Chain A
Amino acid sequence: MILNLYRHRNYIVRNAWSDLRLRYAGSGMGIFWNVIIPLAQILIYTVVFSRLMSFRSPGMASNRYAFVLYLCSGLFPWIAFSRSITRGSNALLVNARHLKMLPIPEEIFVAQSAMADTFSLLIYLVLLVVAGLLVGQPLGWPSLLLPLVAVLFQGLAFGIGLLLSSLRVFFRDIGQALGIATQLWMWTLPIIYVESILPENLQSLLTFNPPYIYITSFRDLFLHNRIPPLATWGGMVAWAAGFALLGSIVLHKLRPELRDAL
C-alpha cells in the first residue's frame, strides 16, 4: 500500500490541491474561502466568548482570549479530522467511475481526500498562530511542531477513512450513520468543554479515544509551549499506523468484490 501511495504521490498531492480549489469553485472568492471561513469562525468565537459572554474557563490564564484560543486549537483540528473521515469514507463511491475503468489502487482516493484536509488544516494552523500572536499569546518554538501533529492526526483520519470507505461501498448506510457518529464523537472529547469538568473515571477513559492524544498535543504545543513526551509521539504514530493497517487489511480482504458493488 505504501508503495502504491508513493507511486501515485504526485497525483494525490495535485488532486488534493485541486479538490481544495474546486470545493468552492464557481464562487467569486474561489480558493480564498478556505481562509475566509476559519477566519470568520475565529472572529465569531472571539466576539462571542471574549466580549459578549466573557466566559473564562477555570484554571486558565487571565488573557480574555484564552478560551477562544483553547477552543480553536481543538476545534480546527477536529473539523479537518471529521471532514477527512466523512469525505474519505466516500472517496471510493465518488470515484467509482475511475475505479471501474482503471487499474488504480483504491487507497489513493482516500489518501487524496485526507491530503486535501491536511492542507486545509495547515492553513487553519497558520491562521491560528497569527491570531495567537495578535492577541498576545506567548508563542514559542514548540509551535513549529504543529504541522507534524497535523500530519499524524490526518494519518489517523486516513486510516479510519480507509477502513470505512471499503465497508461503505457495500453498506451505503454508513454514510448517513457517520454524520451522527462524528457529532456524538466530538462531544466525547474535550474540544468545546474543558477536560476538568468531566468526572474522574471518564477522564481516565479519554486515553482510549484515539483523537484525544492528538488534541492535547496541539494544545501543549500551542497553548503551553510544551513539547509532548516521546511516549505521546509514539502513541500518535501507533494510532495512525494501527488504523491504516486495519484499513488496508479490510480493503485487501474486500478488494476482489469491491468494484463489482460500485
Chain B
Amino acid sequence: MNDSAAVKVESLGKRFKIYRTPWGRAREWLTFGTRTYHKDFWALKDISFELKRGESLGIIGPNGAGKSTLLKILTGALYPSEGEYHINGRVLSLLELGTGFNPELTGRQNVFYSAQLLGFPETYLEERLPDIEAFAELGDFFDRPLKLYSSGMHARLGFSLFAFLDCDVLIIDEVLAVGDIFFRQKCYARLEELISQNTAIILVTHSMAVVQQYCQEAVVLNRGRVVFQGIPSEAIKRYFLLNQKPAVPMLLSKPLVMDNDAVAKLDSGDESVTATTPFWPPPEAFLDLSKATSVGEGWARCIGVALCDEGGNPCQVFKQGQQAYFYYEFEMLKDIEVPIGGLTISNDKNILVHGKNTIQYKSEVPLQVKRGMRVRFRQSIALEIAVGEYTFSVGLGTINVTDYSNIACMSHREMIAKVFRLNHIDRAGTFSVTFRHGDDLPLLHHGLCNLPGECEVLVDGDVASPVKPAEVPMH
C-alpha cells in the first residue's frame, strides 16, 4: 500500500450464517463443523476499492445493498468473512453518532466519555472542547442532561464531537439528513475543511446531489456486489438504472411500425412537413415501465417513456437549469376525440413541483385519434428547480371536440369535469438535479423552483446606473 492510500479494501466479503434455531449452531459445534445446519447469506462479496487521503468516496445503493455492513466492517465493529482491508491511521465513524451517549449525563460529560470510549485521552479533549461546544451551538443545554435534548440537539452534539476529533478516515452514514438546514450547511462546510486537512471521507447517502458535489469517486452497491465504481455522475446513472433498466428487449420485440403521419401532424400541426420526421429517441432510451403502475381502463396503452438531454441522449442527471426532454407515447385501444397529454414532477417529499398538460401549453392537437393509432408527446422543460431527486409521471386524457372549442370560456373546475382520464403512468421515471458545476457556480435561485420575474434597483428614486458584476472596475 502506498503512503497516500488511506483505505484499501481487497475482495472483502461478509457472510452471515442463518440458523433456523439457535441449537443449530450447537449441533454444528458438536460435530466439529463436519455438518452444517445453516444457510449462508452473503451480505457483501468481492468488494475492492482504494481511497486516498484528502479524497472522498461515495457509497450508494438501494436499501439492503450492504452499505451499512461495509461501514461496520471498516469501523471494526464487524469482522469480514473473507478478504482484507487496511486503514492507514485512525478511523472514526459517524455511524456511532451518539450511540455511546448516556441520557443521564450532561452534554459536556457525554463528550468526554464518548471520546474516551473511542480512545482519546482526556487532555486532548480538553483542548478540543471549546471548538466542540461552539460548533454544537447548544447554549445552556450543553450542561444539561441528555434526556432533556431534542433529537436534533442529540445529533448536533454527536456531529460536533466527531467533527473535532482527529482522524484519518471519517465514515459518514446518512446522518447529515438530521438537523435543520443551517446546521447541515455547517456540517458540510466542516466536511470540506476536513477534506482539505487531508482526511479521507467515506460517505453513504441517498442524496445524489451530495455524492455529486463532495465525492471524487463513487461505488454503487447492489445486493452486496459492486455494480459500478468510478466517477460520481456515472455512478448516479447506474444507481438509477438499478431500479429502472432500459427495456431494450421489450421494445425491440415490438418494432415501432407506426402511423408516422399522425405523429407528424401532432408535432408540426401541418401535413406538408411530414417529410422531416421530428426527433424521437432510439428504442434503448426508453425506460422499463414494468415496475411503474399504470392506471387506465382499457382506453389507451402506454408504449414508452423516455427522458433525454438536449443532444437526444438518455439522461437522468441534469444540472440545475438544464433543459430536459420528456418523450412519451400512447396507443389508443378505442377511438377518442381530442387527446390531452401531460406530466407531473414530484420531489423526494412527494410534493408536486410542476405539472403541465397540452391544454395549458396550448399545443396544437388532432381533433380525433382512431383506435390503433399512436400519439407521441414531446415535452421540454427547463429544470429550474431545487437540487435533489425527482420522480415524474405521465398521463393521457381526452376531451370532446365541442368542449375543446369552448375551453377558453370554461372555469378550471368545469374543464376538469369534462376531461376524461385514459391512462396514467405513476412514477414512470426518476431523475436528479445537481449543482451546475460542482459548487463553483452559485445556485440559480433558492427554494423549490425558479419563478419568472425581474428585479430593479433604485437609489433615491432613480434607476441606478447599470453596472453588472463583470463590469465592476478592478482595484
Q: Whole-angstrom distance between the alpha carbons of A101 and B81 in the complex?
A: 18
Chain A residues with a Cβ closer than 8 Å to the other chain, count: 27
Contact among A10, A101, A172, A257 with B96 in the assembled complex (CB-CB below 8 Å): A101
For the complex, what is the distance from the CA of A14 to the CA of B81, rounded to whole Å?
Answer: 35
Contact B96 A11 (CB under 8 A): no
The verdict on B228 contacting chain A, using a C-beta distance below 8 Å, is: no
Chain B residues positioned under 8 Å from A99 (CB to CB): 77
Q: A7-B119, A11-B113, A11-B117 are in contact. Are A101 and B95 (CB under 8 A)?
A: yes
Chain A hits for B237, CB < 8 A: none
Query: Is B77 a contact of A100 with CB atoms below 8 Å?
Result: yes
In residues 85-130 of chain B, which contact A (Cβ within 8 Å)?
Answer: 93, 95-96, 99-100, 102, 104-105, 113, 116-119, 122
Q: B99 to chain A: which residues have CB within 8 Å?
A: 97-98, 101-102
Which residues 102-120 in A have Cβ within 8 Å of B in the complex?
102-104
Taking CB atoms and an 8 Å cut-off, the chain B residues in 4-49 that contact chain A are 16-17, 22-23, 25-26
A interface footprint on B53-96 (CB within 8 Å = 1, 0 otherwise): 00000000000000000001001111101000000000001011
A103 nearest CB neighbor, chain B only: B76
Contact of A103 among B16, B23, B25, B75 (CB under 8 A): B75
For B122, what are the chain A residues with a Cβ–Cβ distance below 8 Å? 10
Q: Which residues of B are found within 8 Å of A25, using beta-carbon distances?
A: 104
CA distance A193 to B72 in the complex (A): 52
Q: CB-nearest residue of chain A relative to B121? A: A10
A170–B100 CB distance below 8 A:
no
Residues in A whose Cβ lies below 8 Å from that of B102: 15, 18
Interface residues of A in 1-20 (CB under 8 A from B): 7-8, 10-11, 14-15, 18
Q: How many Å lie between the Cα of A260 and that of B72 in the bound state?
A: 11
CA distance A172 to B25 in the complex (A): 12
Take A8-B117, A171-B26 as given contacts and tell me if A256 and B79 are in contact as well, using a CB distance cutoff of 8 Å: yes
A198 within 8 A of B: no
Residues of A close to B100: CB separation below 8 A: 98, 102
Query: Who on chain A is nearest to B105 by CB?
Result: A18
Which residue of chain A has the shortest Cβ distance to B99 in the bound complex? Answer: A101
- B207 CB → nearest A CB, Å: 22
Cβ-based interface call for A259 (8 A) = yes
A97 proximity list for chain B (CB < 8 A): 99
Question: Given A170-B22, A257-B17, are A101 and B117 neighbors across the interface (CB < 8 Å)?
Answer: no
Whether B79 lies near A101 (C-beta < 8 A) is no
Binary CB contact string for chain A from 10 to 36 against chain B (1 if under 8 A, 0 otherwise) = 110011001001100100000000000
Q: In the complex, which residues of chain B have a beta carbon less than 8 angstroms from the beta carbon of A103?
A: 75-77
Q: Nearest chain B CB to A19's CB is how many angstroms away?
A: 10
Answer yes or no: A255 CB below 8 A from chain B CBs. Answer: yes
Contact with B along A167-184 (1 / 0, CB 8 A): 000111100000000000
Q: Give A contacts to B, CB under 8 Å.
A: 7-8, 10-11, 14-15, 18, 21-22, 25, 97-104, 170-173, 255-257, 259-260
Interface residues of B (CB under 8 A from A): 16-17, 22-23, 25-26, 72, 75-79, 81, 93, 95-96, 99-100, 102, 104-105, 113, 116-119, 122
12 extra A-B contacts, CB within 8 A, seeds A172-B22, A260-B16 = A8-B116, A18-B102, A22-B104, A100-B78, A102-B117, A102-B118, A103-B75, A171-B22, A256-B81, A257-B17, A259-B79, A260-B78
